[in-house]
Structure 1
Amino acid sequence: MVFPNGTVALKEANLEVAPGEFISLIGPSGCGKTTLLRLLADLIKPTAGTIYIGGKTPEEARKARAYGYVFQAPTLMEWRTVLANVMLPLEIMGFPPAERKARAERMLELVGLERFARHYPWQLSGGCSSGSPLPGPWPSTPTSSSWTSPLGPWMKSPART
């Protein structure tokens, strides 16, 4: 992947992940981890090569909702409760209201945020607001999920402690 300014983000990358396999991309800042995830999520187009996710192009997989993606800097809608924020992807996909609510409540329970369901983002601590978008990809039951810096909000550098 070469960006218009000439920056080479990925070169000769090859990755195969088996169904049910859990992987982590670890490397220094700027080595292409997020670029790879953005390519897989069809957020950017490759400048060379081909990408397949379960036999589909990234665009086909995205349209089939075959994966979920949690952004490096997730954003909550300030005017929506935590529950309403988690329900948003299901609302966009056209799930019935009762099913949206039931799925979102289950996801909040999974990450231990059920007691904050009726809170607004401005009423949450930093850790809770960082964790609130995490259930986002799961209510729609994708076959895979990509996260950029998923533990970032909870990691502290030695300089800050």
Structure 2
Amino acid sequence: MAYQGIRPLTLAQQYAALRVDWPEGEAQLDQHGLRWTGPLQPTALGRRYVVQVSYPSLAHEPQVHVLGPSLKQLAPGRRIEHLYCQKTERLCLYTPKQHEWRPQLRLSRTLLPWATLWLLYFEDWVITGEWQGGGTHPTPRPARTFSRTILRRLA
């Protein structure tokens, strides 16, 4: 779904906005798309994280990953809330089906502030065990069980 009459920002426009709005990070634009890598710190007393935004093309959704410190090491043995992928530590910042982020929006004014807020909620979650950031998760499907009748037929 597009904003009516508003064209998506090009990767070059996104690159320029990232360099202006988040100069402490490093932006790269090449044949693999746009990448921004830089520090985010949710509060003055909070930890500094190194985050990477990857945006391969306008046909793909941008992705945000925490490169360090490892979220898994900060919350050992726990499943981390609001990650699209536990292994790559890809942050769940918006619901794609609800079009909360669109290519007409600046990464520098949406995803990076959202990631900073996500990290604030993460730090609180590590201490309290409760996610205060809201959002939704697909509920895992329960394990499928078979009735005794079906199991007898399969035997």
Which fold has the larger relative contact order, with Cα–Cα distance below 8 Å and residues 6 or more apart in sequence?
1
Instruction: Give the TM-score band, short-chain normalised.
Output: under 0.3
Task: Point out the structure with the larger strand share.
Answer: 2
Instruction: Give the alignment's TM-score, normalised by structure 1.
Output: 0.26
Larger Rg: 2
